[in-house]
Amino acid sequence: MPADKYAPPADVPSVRAALRLPGGPVDLAAIDPRATPSFAGDKADALADIGAMGPRLAELQERLYAQAVAGGARRRVLLVVQGMDTSGKGGTVKHVIGQFNPSGCHIHAFKAPTEDELAHPFLWRVRAQVPGPGLIGVFDRSHYEDVLIARVRDLVPRQVWSRRYATINRFEQSLAKDEVTVVKVFLHISPEEQKERLLARLDNPDKHWKFNPADIDERSVWPDYRTAYEAALEKCDGDAAPWYVVPADRKWYRNWAISRLLLEHLTELDPRYPAGDFDVEAERKRLLDA
């Protein structure tokens, strides 16, 4: 199917509308991690639709990139991916962002801060990774770790992390003013599904490199992480950078939903190829005469 001919199935409502938080207190226990909002099909249907929308996603990315490189536009997209261990942050990068041209992407995985990073305000290392004009950026974890693990593990005092929500909101508002479209995704996985994924890693020697014994320690404070996530989702959900909760127990749905989220945002941006600043016919004649 030609890229410009792709259209979502007529019976698929807006994924943005279906996954966006309604506002007010957040209760993750009320959201089914195995649900498939806005999608009535099965895994095969989802994979087929992902394949069909891939060329359209790639074309929109190229237009966004061309606008910046040749047209001087500043617009870009930043996908922020958060979730518990095994929820699929790396899988999102592989299966969703893999549909784009890597030369037009900027991907950064945030690990534990270094000594140098700790010597600066918590957003210092984040600002350095904001994608440049025309790029699609991806944060595998992000500035939200500073109100998640920092809160759960008492890495900083309460009066420190509690002030960070307002700082994050101001930061994201500044990104929006600088023409960064921020798409924040929380991958909502159940503890039961996480256990199965961790067991799969332990049972397969080829996956041992992905296993971290600390992941089991983190399971012991799952309720604390849920509380921390609910606070971050509630306090940092605004029009400049809304949160989308993606049920992540089904990997195929996760990949479909995030692909559709990006497609809806890029379609709304409607990037266009910039016009050339030269006489096409004159240049054609010069080339033929050369």
Q: Are 106 and 61 in contact (CB under 8 A)?
A: no
Which ranges constitute the DSSP H helices of 206-289?
Answer: 214-219, 222-235, 251-269, 280-289
pLDDT given for residue 270 in this prediction: 96
pLDDT given for residue 7 in this prediction: 62
pLDDT given for residue 13 in this prediction: 75
Q: How many CA atoms lie within 13 A of 101 on its CB side?
A: 15
Task: Centre a 10 Å sphere on the Cβ of residue 128 and count the other Cβ atoms it contains.
Answer: 10
User: What DSSP string runs through 119-136?
Assistant: TS-TTHHHHTTSPPTT-E
Q: Are 151 and 48 in contact (CB under 8 A)?
A: no
Task: Centre a 10 Å sphere on the Cβ of residue 55 and count the other Cβ atoms it contains.
Answer: 16
pLDDT given for residue 6 in this prediction: 62
The greatest distance separating any two alpha carbons of the chain, rounded to the nearest whole angstrom, comes to: 74
- Grouping H, G, I as helix, E, B as strand and the rest as coil, residue 212 is coil
pLDDT given for residue 3 in this prediction: 55
pLDDT given for residue 290 in this prediction: 82
Task: Centre a 10 Å sphere on the Cβ of residue 21 and count the other Cβ atoms it contains.
Answer: 15
pLDDT given for residue 2 in this prediction: 55
Q: What is the mean pLDDT of each run of 10 residues along the chain (290 residues)?
A: 58 87 93 96 96 96 96 96 95 92 95 96 98 97 97 96 98 98 98 96 94 90 97 96 98 97 96 92 93
Using H for helix, E for strand and C for coil, what is the string for 26-75? CCHHHCCCCCCCCCCCCHHHHHHHHHHHHHHHHHHHHHHHHHHHHHCCCC
